[in-house]
Amino acid sequence: MITLLFLTSGLFLGWSLGANDAANIFGTAVGSRMVRFKLAAIIAGIFVIIGAVAQGAGANDTLGDLGSVSTLGAAFTVALAAALTVFWMTRLSLPVSTSQAIVGSIIGWNFYTNNPTDLGVLTKIVATWISGPILGGVFAVLLFMLLQLATRKVRLHLIYKDVITRVGLVIVGAFGAYSLGANNIANVMGVFTHSIQLTPLDFGWLVIGSKQQLFFIGGIAIAIGIATYSRHVMNTVGRSLMPLTPEAALIIVLAQSLVLFIFSSQTLSNAIASIGLPPIPLVPVSSSQVVIGAIIGIGLYKGGREIKLNILGSISLGWIATPIAAGILSFFMLFFMNNVFKQEVGSIEIKRILQTETEPGPVQKNDSTTIYPDSLQNDSLVNH
Amino acid sequence: MSIIFKHARQLVVEIDEFINTAEQGVLVFKEGVLNYLNNEKESFADKISDIDRLEATADRLQHKIDDEAYQHSLLPQSISDVVSMLDRVDELIDIAKDNLYLFELELPFFPENIRKEYIRLTTTSVEAALCVIPAVRTYFREPIQVRDMLSKVYFYENETDKISRSIKRKLFHEMQELDLAQKIHLRYFALHIESISDKAQELADTLSIMALKINI
């Protein structure tokens, strides 16, 4: 029960991610009435869960490398700090991303617990934030050129084009939801994977481990966010903030889905590495910023007259402001959690021990405390 | 999935059929007026019944198209534009029918020395309509080409105006043998024939904006 209580901050983060980011996938389709909200919500909900469970581990491991938040109290606080940052910055109409908020929060935890932040991992993550929107723009331009070519070659009747676009929006939306689940589940559940160990579910032909179960729960939170609150956001995105034709929306959602998929697919990363190229870093990226990158890409391709350059400034501000705000909030909240609520929030020793989790058996921390590697019994950490 | 494609296919067939019907209606109007001017009474009566049938078919198809498009939420973004554009196409055949009936009801007398001008007026006015109808078809398949196709419509509408003016001048300045009532009656028939090209121009204006919107 206490585990579930601590998990609520992550579930809240998942809910808000579903409420906001589903609009990047189905916003235009629903706003333009090409796809009914009910259908969009069902498809997005199902595929976000599948993506989270099937492919969520890669990006999660990278966040783990940045900081293995080791206790349940700390995980709760770190996720809550990220969620509050997202909520607060959204209220102030500032550009915000759950990916950037959670990274800032984890760094805040690193500072508070005196754990060193791996600059190599941090550089990799920040580089991905920059390359994500750029890659989104490149993909969008290439897909846009392909669509233009196809439209010129095949003189489809407007009605057929409408139906094909509609079917395309549903298929691409499903792929987008899968990629969103795969890439962004780490933001929601990543900080809990070291501190919560659930009993694996053995179905004989299939064993569902602790991480997968957590990702499944996080996926459900995202799906609930989509079902309960994304309708308004979708209509806003589709009708006012980002008015796009359904064809352009198809291109942008596909470009965004490809970027999110690339930054979460272990198989693709291994395949790239196997041919001697540097492996793709598996990092949670902001779907909203990739979408903006894709729109700017198309805008530049069409001559650049319609681009509002201040959007680029807002994204850059988001890259800096969100992690800093989340980091500071996380630091102070951890202080309160530790000193007011007397919850263990982790220490440098714990992280070192957790990094050697491949070694079996309990590890003596000091005379009075025994720490178990999280693969064995991490829940016990809560009580120390 | 196959159901939505089935509805789409049906709608495409109906739209094509509707446009063809309107085109035939305009052609029947032209032939009907020429029959009247050449005093071919039987052929003229055939044209009256033809245009009656075609106009009824166009109305039926238009209602079907409207119902199906809204019922299956096809073209959600541009449905109102498409429906109002098809309404303007329907207005073409409606006015062609009304005007042809006016010949049958009012039996205007066309003196020999002005018939040629009325034939030219009819041919040019109908030409404007015959140029806008292919642009309607093109809107559905290649909207980017629509605006290029409309220049002919404006040209023929302009020519129609000129011919109509010259007819009116001739009626009131040169043809002293006609009494005023006859002159006014013939002037009204010039206006009726001219209204076909006016409707074609209105349709062209609508199409032009729609094509621009869809290309953006």
Cα separations in angstroms, B69 against A162, A169, B2, B76, B214: 11, 19, 16, 9, 18
Cβ of B74 within 8 Å of Cβ of A167? The answer is no
Count CB atoms within 10 A of the CB of residue A125: 24
Cβ of B74 within 8 Å of Cβ of A246? The answer is no
Mutate to test the interface with B, among A43, A154, A162, A245 (most CBs of B within 10 A): A162
- Averaged confidence pLDDT in chain A: 82
Cβ of A159 within 8 Å of Cβ of B11? The answer is yes
Least confident of A161-165, A187-191, A235-239: A235-239
Q: Specify the pLDDT at position B215.
A: 62
Mutate to test the interface with B, among A158, A166, A244 (most CBs of B within 10 A): A158
Mutate to test the interface with B, among A152, A156, A163 (most CBs of B within 10 A): A163
Q: Specify the pLDDT at position B216.
A: 54
Tens digits of per-residue pLDDT, B160-206? 999 999 999 999 999 989 999 999 999 999 999 999 999 999 999 99
Q: Specify the pLDDT at position A364.
A: 40
DSSP string, B130-170: HHHHHHHHHHHH-GGGHHHHTHHHHHHHHHHHHHHHHHHHI
Cβ of A163 within 8 Å of Cβ of B4? The answer is yes
Chain A residues touching residue B78 (CB < 8 angstroms): 158
Distance from CA of B198 to the nearest CA of A (A): 27
Q: Specify the pLDDT at position B57.
A: 97
Range of the domain at B182: 2-215
Question: Domain with B74 in it: what CATH number?
Answer: 1.20.58.220
- Using CB atoms, pick whichever of B1, B74, B139 lies closest to residue A162: B74
Distance from CA of B135 to the nearest CA of A (A): 14
Tens digits of per-residue pLDDT, B78-90? 888 999 999 999 9
* Per-residue pLDDT band at A311 (split at 50, 70, 90): low
Distance from CA of A249 to the nearest CA of B (A): 13
Above pLDDT 90, what percent of chain B?
83
* Per-residue pLDDT band at A39 (split at 50, 70, 90): very high
- State how beta strands A201-202 and A207-208 pair: antiparallel
Chain B residues touching residue A32 (CB < 8 angstroms): 76-77
Cβ of A163 within 8 Å of Cβ of B140? The answer is no
Q: Specify the pLDDT at position B95.
A: 96
In this complex, is the C-beta atom of B32 within 8 Å of any C-beta atom belonging to chain A?
Answer: no
Cross-strand pairs, A208: A201
Of the two residues A356 and B114, the one the predictor is more confident about is: B114
- Whether the CB-CB separation of B96 and B52 falls below 8 Å is answered with no
Residue B84 buriedness (CB in 10 A; 0-12 / 13-18 / 19+): exposed
Is residue A17 scored above 60 in pLDDT? yes
Cβ of A157 within 8 Å of Cβ of B5? The answer is no
In this complex, is the C-beta atom of B13 within 8 Å of any C-beta atom belonging to chain A?
Answer: no
* Per-residue pLDDT band at A104 (split at 50, 70, 90): very high
Count CB atoms within 10 A of the CB of residue A271: 13
Phi, psi at residue A208, to the nearest 5°? -105, 115
In this complex, is the C-beta atom of B85 within 8 Å of any C-beta atom belonging to chain A?
Answer: no
Chain B residues touching residue A158 (CB < 8 angstroms): 75, 78, 82, 139-141, 143, 214
* Per-residue pLDDT band at B116 (split at 50, 70, 90): very high
State the Cα–Cα distance between residues B41 and B45, nearest whole angstrom. Answer: 6
Of the two residues A275 and B127, the one the predictor is more confident about is: B127
State the Cα–Cα distance between residues B149 and B136, nearest whole angstrom. Answer: 10
Cβ of B5 within 8 Å of Cβ of A163? The answer is yes
Alpha helices (H) along chain A: 2-31, 37-55, 57-66, 72-91, 98-112, 119-153, 158-189, 210-236, 246-262, 266-274, 287-301, 309-339, 348-355, 374-377
- Using CB atoms, pick whichever of A32, A157, A245 lies closest to residue B140: A157
Cβ of B8 within 8 Å of Cβ of A34? The answer is no
- Using CB atoms, pick whichever of A155, A159, A245 lies closest to residue B75: A159
Phi, psi at residue A116, to the nearest 5°? -70, 140
Is residue A145 scored above 60 in pLDDT? yes
Q: Specify the pLDDT at position A291.
A: 86
Cβ of A159 within 8 Å of Cβ of B74? The answer is yes
Closest Cα to residue A56, out of A293, A223, A219?
A219
Structure tokens at B8: 């789409």
Amino acid at B92: L
Chain A residues touching residue B76 (CB < 8 angstroms): 32-34
Chain A residues touching residue B214 (CB < 8 angstroms): 158
Of the two residues B130 and A344, the one the predictor is more confident about is: B130
- Residue A130 CB contacts under 8 Å (≥ 6 apart), including other chains: A319
* Per-residue pLDDT band at A378 (split at 50, 70, 90): very low
- Residue A186 CB contacts under 8 Å (≥ 6 apart), including other chains: A56, A59, A60, A62, A63, A102, A284
Residue A189 buriedness (CB in 10 A; 0-12 / 13-18 / 19+): buried
Q: Which of A198-212, A317-331, B116-130 has the highest mean pLDDT?
A: B116-130
Least confident of A27-41, A192-206, A262-276, A301-315: A301-315
Chain A residues touching residue B135 (CB < 8 angstroms): none
Distance from CA of B144 to the nearest CA of A (A): 10
Show contacts of B152-159: CB within 8 Å, 24+ apart. Answer: B152/B128, B153/B128, B153/B200, B153/B201, B153/B203, B153/B204, B154/B201, B154/B204, B156/B124, B156/B125, B156/B127, B156/B128, B156/B131, B156/B197, B156/B200, B157/B128, B157/B197, B157/B198, B157/B200, B157/B201, B159/B124
In this complex, is the C-beta atom of B76 within 8 Å of any C-beta atom belonging to chain A?
Answer: yes
* Mean pLDDT (whole number) for A177-191: 92
Least confident of A252-261, A303-312, B53-62, B205-214: A303-312
Is residue B99 scored above 90 in pLDDT? yes
State the Cα–Cα distance between residues A73 and A194, nearest whole angstrom. Answer: 12
* Per-residue pLDDT band at B75 (split at 50, 70, 90): confident
Cβ of B12 within 8 Å of Cβ of A157? The answer is yes
* Per-residue pLDDT band at A20 (split at 50, 70, 90): confident
The domain total for chain B is: 1
Write out the residues of chain A at the interface with chain B, using a CB-CB cutoff of 8 A.
Answer: 32-34, 155-160, 162-163, 166-167, 245-246
Tens digits of per-residue pLDDT, A225-274? 999 988 877 776 555 445 677 888 889 889 999 999 999 888 888 899 89
E strand or H helix at B211: helix B180-215
Domain extent listing, chain A: 2-347
ipTM: 0.83
Q: Specify the pLDDT at position A241.
A: 47
Q: What angle do CA A194, A200, A203 make, to 5 degrees?
A: 155
- State how beta strands A363-364 and A207-208 pair: unpaired
Q: Specify the pLDDT at position A236.
A: 65
* Mean pLDDT (whole number) for A168-184: 93
Closest Cα to residue B160, out of B184, B127, B131?
B127
- Using CB atoms, pick whichever of A157, A158, A167 lies closest to residue B1: A167
A-B interface: how many C-beta pairs under 8 angstroms? 43
Distance from CA of A164 to the nearest CA of B (A): 9
Tens digits of per-residue pLDDT, B8-37? 899 999 999 999 999 999 999 999 999 999
State the Cα–Cα distance between residues B71 and A28, nearest whole angstrom. Answer: 21
Of the two residues A245 and A224, the one the predictor is more confident about is: A224
Cβ of A162 within 8 Å of Cβ of B143? The answer is no
In this complex, is the C-beta atom of B3 within 8 Å of any C-beta atom belonging to chain A?
Answer: no
**What SS3 state is found at A288?**
helix
- Whether the CB-CB separation of A347 and A357 falls below 8 Å is answered with no
